[in-house]
């Protein structure tokens, strides 16, 4: 390799996500899924969806999965089937993707925020303090691939007779004390958006539950409330998973253990190599198995560092720059800056760096060199 070649390789892009590389790595198997669906002529529902539901439920050791068209619908429709609606309060962290809170608000229920801890997930003490006579449910969000501290959350919920709906959109396959995400509460909701570890080629989502009646109601609600042949018992919606997404997700489910292994290996290398004076990464607890949906570091002068990475052709992202309570959509909830200091402080110094399964040898070292060099 000449010096020029070496320089070119050095400056080649390290993408924050690389969906094209995911496709290239499994092109034949993906095209076989697509072909199978087109040959069948079945594009909505059918055997692929039934099999995906069975396989994903088995993977997580729960009795039922319901395939839907997004994680947002899993949350919103799932909560509606659990009887959550106007007049009810649902406690959730302000540090999440907007969809968690939006699903509560769209039902006419009131989102009540509880701040997070160092691990970026809901603080069980703050959750307990936010409970009122109108509280109906708690929605912990397993952010970044790490499960919230479920033991105290479940204990508090049980004592106060609250429903537990997990927003496990970022944590498929993650474990907490050997129990898998989505299997703790009354319902586990997942997104299979292209950016998730278990990802479709478009919008898709699903929920898990051990309650057969809830699963049955969901299956009808997502399809115009139809049960049996053309009989609608309720006015439903259309939130079915496309057959093609189910076929792809069945393949992706098989590939997932390797995806998770690679992401965890990448995170481990980052943890070993990043300068721990200037870069903070919340430590892994011995009982957690993080699937690293994102690798979030916390740093001073974050925006300058981001620019330095960009100059080296290295992608990064911020999850999330504006906490939900400070979004224009949340104005009517009446919160203000300063209400959730941990979330707000984290929003100012978090940076998500590339951790995906298709990073090439040397990529992580290049990212680390740039970050450590920036502070060095």
Ligand X SMILES: Cc1ncc(COP(=O)(O)O)c(C=O)c1O
Footprint on this chain of ligand X (rule: CB under 6 A): 70-72, 96-97, 99-100, 141, 167, 169-170, 191, 193, 203, 205
User: Toward ligand X, which CB reaches closer, 260 or 368?
Assistant: 260
SS3 330: helix
Minimum gap (Å) between residue 95 Cβ and ligand X: 10
Please, are residues 191 and 249 in contact by the beta-carbon 8 Å criterion?
no
- Rounded (5°) CA angle 88-75-263: 135
**DSSP per-residue codes, 31-71:** HHHHHHHHHHT--BSSHHHHHHHHHHHHHHT-SEEEEES-H
Query: Which residue is at the shortest CB distance from ligand X?
Result: 71
User: Toward ligand X, which CB reaches closer, 95 or 209?
Assistant: 95
Q: Tell me which H or E stretch contains 91.
A: strand 89-92
User: Toward ligand X, which CB reaches closer, 183 or 370?
Assistant: 183
- CA 200 – CA 193 distance, rounded (Å): 6
- CA 97 – CA 58 distance, rounded (Å): 27
Minimum gap (Å) between residue 77 Cβ and ligand X: 11
Question: Does residue 334 come out as left (phi exceeding 0), alpha (psi in the -120 to 50 range) or beta?
Answer: left
Minimum gap (Å) between residue 172 Cβ and ligand X: 11
Paired tokens of 82? 């659990």
3-state SS string over 238-298?
Answer: ECCCEHHHHHHHHHHHHHHHHHHHHHHHHHHHHHHHCCCCCEECCCCCCCEECCCCCEEEE
Minimum gap (Å) between residue 123 Cβ and ligand X: 17
User: Toward ligand X, which CB reaches closer, 59 or 190?
Assistant: 190
Minimum gap (Å) between residue 182 Cβ and ligand X: 12
Minimum gap (Å) between residue 369 Cβ and ligand X: 30
Can you count the helices (H) and strands (E) in the chain? Answer: 13, 15
Minimum gap (Å) between residue 324 Cβ and ligand X: 11
User: Toward ligand X, which CB reaches closer, 66 or 141?
Assistant: 141
User: Toward ligand X, which CB reaches closer, 110 or 245?
Assistant: 245
User: Toward ligand X, which CB reaches closer, 227 or 317?
Assistant: 317
Paired tokens of 148? 């919230």
Minimum gap (Å) between residue 372 Cβ and ligand X: 29
Q: Within 10 A of 305 (CB to CB), how many other CB atoms are there?
A: 22
Q: Which residues contact 340 (CB under 8 A, 6 or more apart)?
A: 94, 95, 113, 115, 116, 323, 325
User: Toward ligand X, which CB reaches closer, 109 or 274?
Assistant: 109
């Amino acid at each position: 390799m000449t010096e020029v070649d070496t320089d070119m390789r050095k400056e080649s892009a390290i993408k924050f996500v690389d969906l094209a590389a995911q496709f290239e790595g499994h092109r034949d198997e993906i095209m076989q899924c697509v072909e199978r669906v087109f040959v069948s002529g079945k594009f909505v529902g059918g055997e692929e969806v039934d099999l995906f539901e069975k396989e994903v439920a088995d993977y997580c050791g729960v009795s039922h999965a319901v395939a839907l068209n997004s994680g947002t619908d899993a949350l919103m429709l799932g909560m509606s089937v659990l009887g959550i609606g106007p007049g009810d309060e649902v406690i959730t962290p302000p540090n999440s993707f907007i969809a968690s809170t939006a699903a509560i608000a769209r039902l006419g229920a009131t989102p009540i925020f509880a701040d997070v801890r160092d691990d970026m997930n809901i603080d069980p003490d703050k959750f307990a303090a936010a409970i009122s006579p109108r509280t109906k449910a708690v929605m912990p969000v397993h952010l970044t691939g790490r499960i919230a501290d479920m033991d105290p959350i479940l204990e508090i919920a049980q004592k106060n007779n609250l429903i537990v709906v997990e927003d496990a959109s970022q944590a498929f396959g993650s474990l907490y004390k050997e129990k898998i995400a989505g299997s703790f509460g009354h319902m586990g909701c997942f997104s299979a958006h292209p950016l998730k570890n278990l990802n479709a080629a478009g919008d898709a989502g699903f929920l898990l539950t051990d309650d057969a009646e809830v699963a049955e109601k969901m299956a009808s609600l997502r399809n115009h409330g139809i049960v049996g042949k053309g009989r609608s018992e309720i006015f439903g919606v259309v939130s079915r998973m496309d057959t093609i997404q189910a076929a792809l997700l069945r393949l992706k489910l098989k590939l997932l253990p390797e995806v998770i292994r690679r992401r965890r290996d990448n995170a481990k290398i980052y943890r070993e190599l990043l300068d721990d004076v200037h870069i903070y990464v919340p430590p892994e607890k011995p009982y957690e198995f993080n699937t690293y949906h994102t690798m979030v570091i916390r740093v001073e002068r974050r925006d300058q560092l981001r620019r330095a990475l960009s100059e080296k052709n290295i992608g990064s992202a911020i999850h999330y720059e504006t906490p939900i309570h400070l979004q224009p959509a949340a104005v009517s909830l009446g919160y203000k800056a300063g209400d959730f200091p941990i979330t707000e402080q984290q929003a100012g110094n978090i940076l998500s760096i590339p951790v995906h399964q298709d990073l090439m040898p040397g990529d992580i070292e290049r990212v680390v060199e740039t970050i450590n060099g920036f502070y060095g």
